Amino acid sequence: MHTVSEALKAVLDHVPAPVSQRIPLIESPGRVLLEAIVVAEDVPAFSKALMDGFAISVDDATGSGSVNSPTGMQRLRVVESIVAGRVPSRHLKSLEAMQIMTGAPIPQNCSCVVPVERVQIDQADSGWVDVPRSQMIPDANVLAAGAIARKGQRLLEVGTCLQPARIGAIGELGIAEVVVSRRPTVSILSTGNELVPIGVLPGPGQIRNSSQPMLAAQVMTAGGIPQLLGISEDDTGQLGQKIQEGLRADVFVLTGGVSAGILDLVPEQLALAGVVTVFHGVLMKPGKPIWFGVYRTDSHTCLVFGLPGNPVSSLACFELFVKPALWRLQGLPDLEPGVAVLSERCQVRGDRPVYQPVILRQETGTIMARPVSWSNSADLLATVMANGFARMEPEHGVYEAGEIVEVLPWDRRSCCQ
């Protein structure tokens, strides 16, 4: 039987290349670049003021200056006012200044902007301003053309997920459309005679189909588009028909019917539909009966995951195998597990690595993991305060508080990267 890392490698080896699409920048939050963002022109395109104040030439600080300047000041003639969105009509001459607003282009021969609060405007004649020589510093409060980015520079590489600051930066470069990966579709089918829809009162021996909304939410968190196929009974005809539907998506997730029980028809029916088995069973707890296969036609590949029916098992199998596949399908770099410090003692039972639901919290810069009390793989209610799994090795036996463990936070999502 495969280990978790062998199984994950087998899954990732079968993920097809992401499919690209061009979309408006405004619709791009959370999407992943499939074409790099390259700077097409210098940024800023023109040298500009970083403060409201007066555009001057530092050359005027030396020399005798005009008469009537107070001590340490240089009197300059205000010849123009440049507001943002306007350009200076001419260049600065000796002993001239122009009033300028933040963001406005500086005139030629300007080498400094002196903030408005540092100067004295002549009360009697606003055509003159007194500027302290100590403020006449070369390049002060001026942003030179090309200082932020140079033409041809690669700003964002392929595989980058678009979050707000990046979207703003792309907008600044004048790029109104981006080439990103198509969001993968994920069909979800629950199998089992015992299942009833959530709104229906279960009869004796029946349980509610709670995995459907849970998996749909997991798909959304991972950047995919869920397609709900509802419930199939353990009946070859009904199951075969739903499988045909499910195989049209990029990823097909089934729950139930993959153990060794009498009514576990899923692997057999998937094989009949042309899905090629890659593995069945992984050394882990919960989730051991997981099945994975691939369906290929000339024009389409569908990755097929048969997850165990118990809710915590399907939660774990999704995080461990389906989410990494969805990340790679979107062109994101592979997810690496994190680590955390156990906040209390924890004992591993059995002979398989255990994925223990934990509450991950940051405490003064350290990530702590607190195991939740969890009775079995059907016990989803115990996990409501958890937000990750910690991997516990069976040969380790007892873990003491303070030991470091490998963790998989559930809330990792494409645009957090």
Query: Quick one: 32 or 294, whose CB is closer to its own copies?
Result: 32
Query: Quick one: 161 or 303, whose CB is closer to its own copies?
Result: 161
Among 3-11, 71-79, 164-172, 243-251, the segment contacting its own copies (CB under 8 A): 164-172
Among 47, 135, 181, 209, indicate the residue that binds its own copies (CB under 8 A): 209
**How many residues line the site for its own copies (CB under 8 A)?**
107
How far is residue 238's CA from residue 251's CA, in Å, rounded to a whole number? 20
Examine residue 408 and tell whether it contacts its own copies (CB under 8 A): no
| Contact (CB, 8 A) for 70 and 129 | no
CB neighbours (10 Å) of residue 386? 21
| Contact (CB, 8 A) for 145 and 87 | no
Q: Between residue 269 and residue 298, which ones bind its own copies under the rule CB under 8 A?
A: none
How far is residue 123's CA from residue 259's CA, in Å, rounded to a whole number? 89
Query: Quick one: 79 or 155, whose CB is closer to its own copies?
Result: 155
Examine residue 265 and tell whether it contacts its own copies (CB under 8 A): no
Query: Quick one: 294 or 335, whose CB is closer to its own copies?
Result: 335
Tell the smallest beta-carbon distance from residue 384 to its own copies (Å): 5
Site string for its own copies, 2-31 (x = CB under 8 A): -----------------------xx-xx--
How far is residue 213's CA from residue 219's CA, in Å, rounded to a whole number? 10
Q: Which two tokens stand for residue 354?
A: 């255990």
Query: Quick one: 124 or 262, whose CB is closer to its own copies?
Result: 262
How far is residue 104's CA from residue 83's CA, in Å, rounded to a whole number? 6
Examine residue 248 and tell whether it contacts its own copies (CB under 8 A): no
Tell the smallest beta-carbon distance from residue 20 to its own copies (Å): 20
The closest of 385, 359, 411 to 220, measured between CA atoms, is 411
Among 8, 32, 131, 162, indicate the residue that binds its own copies (CB under 8 A): 162
Query: Quick one: 58 or 263, whose CB is closer to its own copies?
Result: 263
| Contact (CB, 8 A) for 170 and 178 | yes
Say how many CA atoms lie within 13 Å of 397 toward its Cβ. Answer: 0
| Contact (CB, 8 A) for 196 and 207 | yes
Tell the smallest beta-carbon distance from residue 31 to its own copies (Å): 10
Q: Between residue 172 and residue 201, which ones bind its own copies under the rule CB under 8 A?
A: 172, 174-176, 192-195, 197-201
Query: Quick one: 132 or 337, whose CB is closer to its own copies?
Result: 337
How far is residue 64's CA from residue 56's CA, in Å, rounded to a whole number? 16
The closest of 212, 282, 266 to 234, measured between CA atoms, is 266
Tell the smallest beta-carbon distance from residue 296 to its own copies (Å): 29
Among 267, 311, 353, 371, indicate the residue that binds its own copies (CB under 8 A): 311
DSSP type of residue 34 = S
How far is residue 13's CA from residue 307's CA, in Å, rounded to a whole number? 19
Tell the smallest beta-carbon distance from residue 38 to its own copies (Å): 12
The closest of 252, 223, 220, 183 to 19, measured between CA atoms, is 183
Helix intervals (H) in 297-338: 311-317, 323-329
Query: Quick one: 45 or 398, whose CB is closer to its own copies?
Result: 45
Examine residue 140 and tell whether it contacts its own copies (CB under 8 A): no
Q: Between residue 329 and residue 348, which ones bind its own copies under the rule CB under 8 A?
A: 338-341
